Chain A
Amino acid sequence: MKQRHSIIFIILSLLVILLFTADLGAGSIRIPLRNVWGALTGGECPRDQALIVTHIRLIKGIAALLAGAALSVSGLQMQTLFRNPLAGPYVLGISSGASLGVALFILGAPFMRLPSWVMQFGIAGAAWIGAGAVLLVIAVAGRRIRDIMVILILGMMFSSGVSAIVQILQYLSRDEALKSFVIWTMGSLGEIRWPQMWILLPSVAVGLILAIATIKPLNLLLFGEEYAASMGLEVRRSRSLLFISTTLLAGSVTAFCGPIGFIGLAMPHVTRMIVGDSDHRILLPATILSGAAIMLVCDIASRLLVLPINAITALVGIPVVIAVVLRNSHR
């Protein structure tokens, strides 16, 4: 690794630590950093503040870290696999699948009179099943289809079709159910409690381990599938691994936090610009850090401005996407 890369990694890591700490302190009740530290280490801190830190903000901070890292890595995987700068974690229809699951659940739930904690898990579970079902369809189709561009187009069409069904469900649903669905689509890091975290954390961890295991395949896929195959890549197996990894990453985050847009699309580009290298051995770990950092920034902003997280990520992400498109058109 070049010295330049080591410096970038050190700066990014320090940035993530700094932002994570700031994230724990920020909110409607300002908690001084000294007290945050006390609450985390069992030191000196007023009891009410300690509870806020350990039961609310710590979980939210970890959720932001995981969501940012997971969505950005998933976006990077899809951009490399499809060799398309505008691909993102949701290009295969993972968020549409999750939306369908949630829409069906929210519509159905009022008839079942479920307690609220079941509702919380139910929404995440339904989203997960929806995202997984989409993956299954794409994976089965992917084994038969050779041309990756056909898979991309199928994924987009499938995704639009599912969105249409979700719209029909929305149209037919009652006001209250419609509102909970719309709120879910706005995204939130605040719905997670420790029990949910114990599902989210391992899912994202396994997704990231798979992503690291596919670093060499990703580097080969930069040359396109035909070249990659001629250099010894088992293309279909790598494709499947990437699909599983992306579903674990983007699917789990979407299940628990709602469909968070733009981070997965924008951050791989920002990271490429920062590290100045397409080698995934550098790019992938750097994307984990930069994705986590930007999500923490968005979370702090959303808390200070009291706005839904999706609005913030879009406002941060859109300029980046425009810059990328303009930069490519000047080539």
Chain B
Amino acid sequence: MIQLDDFTIGYGRNTLISHADAIVGDGRLTALVGRNGSGKSTLLRAIAGLGVAYTGRALVEGYDMRTIPASLRARRLAFVTTERIRISSMTCRAVVAMGRAPYTDWIGRLSPRDNEIVDRALSDIGMSDYADRTLDSMSDGECQRIMIARAMAQDTPVILLDEPTSFLDLPSRYTLVDLLHRLARDHGKCIFFSTHELDIALKMTDDIALLADNTLRVAPAREMRQSGIIFEKFGLDKDFC
């Protein structure tokens, strides 16, 4: 669970989110939507404790990610950024196995259980056939899925993803969000991802976190659709989807 209390964040004088109180729940897939520059990535980085300054509280599983050691943080929260990772001559399996880093010894040796988890993450995301391929020979979308499998192998109660659908073609977007949904529901994980795909967010997620006018509102997707507020903030027609 992610809990924000009186949470305020911004750059210099430019406030992005002001005094937000919100809960992103367990066992649910929550989409973070908002216009460009509304602060979606900044919010995700702040929650992950990646050196973004804010006031108020942002708790993950009851802990402030800025104050606990990195190794404990990595067991509670996994993060998939928008950065394109292309490591030459590193197999997909090795990349996903890095997700086990918080659990392995000083040199990163995998136990049989670690190997099982890595295999499962690869098969869950439908990339088992790519296990021995290297990232530099794959498309952006395929690399993105491997990075998500890596986050799944990290085996954390909370997963944050920054625009995970942006490199994917339309069918892959649906498949991915469907997979994230199943992961949240079946494993009771709290999965929070930012997206520009309003239709996917409205149709395929449990909750929507709407970031607009320096305010963060979290509500069930159906409620967001019915109230019409989301269309109003995006300047769209109510029959959009």
Contacts of A220 in B (CB 8 A): 98, 101
Cβ B98 vs Cβ A223 within 8 A: yes
Cβ B98 vs Cβ A219 within 8 A: yes
Shortest distance between the CB of B137 and any CB in chain A (Å):
10
Contacts of B81 in A (CB 8 A): 226-227
User: Does chain B have a CB within 8 A of A233?
Assistant: yes
CA of A235 to CA of B74 in the docked complex: distance in angstroms?
13
Contacts of A277 in B (CB 8 A): 89-90
Chain A, 213-236, contact with B by CB distance < 8 Å: what is the 0/1 string? 101100110111011011111110
Contacts of B102 in A (CB 8 A): 231-232
Cβ B90 vs Cβ A281 within 8 A: no
Shortest distance between the CB of B28 and any CB in chain A (Å):
21
Residue of A216, A233, A235, A281 with highest tally of chain B CB at under 10 A = A216
Query: Which range contains the number of B residues in contact with the other chain?
Result: 20 to 34
CA of A223 to CA of B81 in the docked complex: distance in angstroms?
11
Contacts of A84 in B (CB 8 A): none
Contacts of A233 in B (CB 8 A): 70, 101
Mark A residues whose CB is within 8 Å of B: 146, 213, 215-216, 219-220, 222-224, 226-227, 229-235, 272, 276-279, 281, 331
With both beta carbons as reference points, the residue of chain B lying nearest to A83 in the complex is identified as B87
Chain B, 117-139, contact with A by CB distance < 8 Å: what is the 0/1 string? 00000000000000000001000
With both beta carbons as reference points, the residue of chain B lying nearest to A212 in the complex is identified as B107
Given contacts A222-B87, A232-B74, 11 further A-B contacts (CB under 8 A): A213-B106, A215-B107, A216-B104, A220-B101, A227-B79, A230-B78, A230-B79, A232-B71, A233-B70, A233-B101, A278-B88
Contacts of A272 in B (CB 8 A): 88-89
**Subset of 28 A-B contacts with CB under 8 Å:** A213-B106, A215-B108, A216-B101, A216-B104, A216-B107, A216-B108, A219-B98, A220-B101, A223-B85, A226-B79, A226-B81, A229-B50, A230-B48, A230-B50, A230-B74, A231-B98, A231-B101, A231-B102, A231-B154, A232-B70, A232-B75, A233-B101, A272-B88, A272-B89, A277-B90, A278-B89, A279-B90, A281-B107
Cβ A232 vs Cβ B107 within 8 A: no
Scan residues 100-114 of chain B and give those whose CB is less than 8 A from a CB of chain A: 101-102, 104, 106-108
CA of A146 to CA of B106 in the docked complex: distance in angstroms?
25
Q: Which 7 A-B pairs have the closest CB atoms?
A: A232-B74, A232-B102, A230-B79, A232-B71, A278-B90, A231-B101, A216-B108
Shortest distance between the CB of B32 and any CB in chain A (Å):
17
